[in-house]
Amino acid sequence: MSELNKIALEILNNGKGILAADESTGTMTKRLEGVSVPSTPENRLLFRETLFSSLGMKEFIGGVILYDETIKQTSSKKNKIPELISSMGSHPGIKVDTGAKVLAGSPNEKITEGLDGLRDRLREYFHLGAKFTKWRGVYNISKDYPSKLSIQSNAHALARYSALVQESNMVPIVEPEVLMDGDHSAKDCYQKTSEVIKKCFEELILHKVDLTGIILKPNMILSGNKSKNKISNEEIAKLTLECLKNSVPSEVPGIAFLSGGQSELEATENLNLINKLNDTNFIMSYSYGRALQQSALKFWSKNIQDIDGTQRIFNHRAKMNTLAAQGKWSKEIENQ
Ligand code: 5MM
């Protein structure tokens, strides 16, 4: 077993999942201002260190994705943040893309940037304690999109990123996110997601990426958030599993879904159903941002001093998702 494969499995084994806490300052500012908390470096750290020092980290969270600001911060108890995460039995990771920008040649679409100078930045993050990294490509669905250009260029960037990350002895999370925005059907989402993922693997293989040492972070197959034809959770699970079976090479050890705007409960329930049906060798777990943090953030914003209360809410969500990653979640357990 390679070292990278070992890390990928440590992150996702036994129902463990990933806490995506890598909101860039702009996104984190939106989240904090949404609950009327000023977005200062101190407040961003305070909320995040409250989550990272929760007991649930030990049992349920195998990895935390950080943003550049956070990986360099020191907690109120004077621990470096990557050390705090490691001391909770979890692996620190880092978002290394520099964001999605307008794609020249197709101005309604985005290309993710950050390859220039990446090798040097990776060296720095490795020394700061990162064991894995993340890069997110974004695709929107409409009549003409995603275009061949966006599918090809984002896959190319994801592959070049992954090759550099493995060269630096870290596990790349490959995140091609087909957005749920729009009125498209689940069938459109299925077709586009499948095209996007297949192209990513074509490029990863071309760039000689070791597929046993990556984690794929895809969207689930959903109808658009403005679509009138919603499908059931059972259908979401069935289509998601079928799409991944047909597009992901069997060497990949683990798949960790993004929540992508689903509510906390939807994201848990869908993951649970996927795992009940899972007849593959892929671990199917979670790498949730909003679906792990929303309730905890809401509570914290009104009770900033109540660390225990905030942690209780976060621990519960992490536990529910870990049960779902094993197909063992139920509404009864949720409400106990
Ligand atoms: C945590 O949010 C990340 C977004 O960061 P930006 O500030 O660069 O937009 C995002 O990539 C996230 O990791 C994934 O989308 C998963 O988060 P959700 O909330 O969709 O589960």
The sign of the dihedral angle between the CA atoms of 263, 147, 118, 213 is: positive
Backbone angles phi, psi at 229, to 5 degrees: -100, 80
Of 80, 134, 217, 230, which is the active-site residue?
217
Average pLDDT, the chain: 98
Nearest-CA residue for atom 4 of ligand 1: 23
What crossing angle do the helices spanning 264-277 and 290-302 adopt, rounded to 10°? 150
Give the residue carrying structure tokens 């095209």: 195
The pLDDT of 75-92, averaged and rounded, is 97
Among 217, 258, 268, say which to mutate for ligand 1: greatest number of ligand atoms within 8 Å of CB: 258
Looking from the CA of residue 21, the nearest atom of ligand 1 is 1
Between CA 120 and CA 64 the distance in angstroms is 22
Rounded distance from Cα 30 to ligand 1 centre (Å): 12
Residues 284-331 pLDDT 10s = 999 999 999 999 999 999 999 999 999 999 999 999 999 999 999 999
Per cent of the chain over pLDDT 70 is 100
Q: Is 70 in the pocket of ligand 1 (CB under 6 A)?
A: no
Q: How far apart are CA 37 and CA 59, in angstroms?
A: 30
**203 touches 236 (CB < 8 A):** no
Residue 259 Cβ < 6 Å to ligand 1: yes
> 187-211: per-residue pLDDT in tens?
999 999 999 999 999 999 999 999 9
What tens digit of pLDDT does each residue of 22-52 get?
999 999 999 999 999 999 999 999 999 999 9
Rounded mean pLDDT of 120-132?
98
Q: How many CB atoms lie within 10 A of CB 29?
A: 16
Establish whether 80 is a catalytic residue.
no
Q: State the amino acid at position 292 in one-letter form.
A: L
Total-model pTM: 0.98
How high is the pLDDT of residue 1?
Answer: 73
Residue among 23, 113, 178 whose CB has most ligand 1 atoms within 8 A, to mutate: 23
pLDDT (mean) for 239-254: 98
Please report how many Cα atoms fall inside a 13 Å half-sphere around the Cα of residue 79, on the Cβ side: 15
What does the pLDDT read at residue 105?
98
| The CATH number, out of the four listed (3.20.20.150, 3.40.50.720, 3.30.360.10, 3.20.20.70), of the domain defined by the range 3-334 | 3.20.20.70
Each domain of the chain, given as residue ranges in start order, spans: 3-334
pLDDT value, residue 112? 99
Burial label, 127 (beta-carbon count in 10 A; 0-12, 13-18, 19+): exposed
